[in-house]
């Protein structure tokens, strides 16, 4: 992994548990953990950011896989990511009610 890389993003978007992953930093590192409820709340405050986030996530995923010479079993479409983010936001909204 490199500066700015992330992991667990698919788990966050798909709402599925993260597979057992062990990552060890070689240098002092700051980690930002985003709870699904926090992402949902942020999207509620700024619905326009949903499309931007979906586009950036899709682009990041493509670049990451290209850099590792991996090919996804099924490429992620921005619309799919947008739909997952909307569903996450809706789930969080109904859980708060």
Q: What pLDDT, on the 0 to 100 scale, is given for residue 74?
A: 58
The encoded tokens of residue 29 equal: 């590192």
Measuring CA to CA, how many Å separate 64 from each of 2, 8, 18, 88?
A: 11, 13, 18, 24
Say if CB 44 and CB 16 are below 8 A apart: no
Per-residue pLDDT of the chain (97 residues; tens, 9 = 90+): 778 777 887 787 777 777 777 888 888 988 888 888 888 888 888 878 888 888 888 887 777 777 776 666 556 677 877 888 888 778 777 776 5
Q: Does this model's pTM top 0.85?
A: no
Q: What pLDDT, on the 0 to 100 scale, is given for residue 96?
A: 64
DSSP 77-91: PHHHHHHHHHHHHHH
Neighbours of 63 (CB within 10 A): 10
């Amino acid at each position: 992994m490199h500066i700015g890389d992330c992991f667990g993003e698919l788990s966050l978007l798909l709402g599925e548990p993260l597979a057992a992953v062990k990552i060890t930093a070689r240098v002092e590192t700051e980690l930002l953990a985003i709870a699904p409820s926090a992402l949902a709340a942020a999207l509620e405050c700024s619905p326009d950011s949903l499309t931007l986030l979906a586009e950036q996530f899709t682009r990041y995923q493509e670049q990451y896989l290209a850099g590792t010479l991996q090919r996804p079993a099924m490429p992620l479409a921005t619309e799919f990511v947008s739909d997952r983010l909307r569903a996450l936001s809706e789930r969080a909204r109904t859980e708060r009610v």
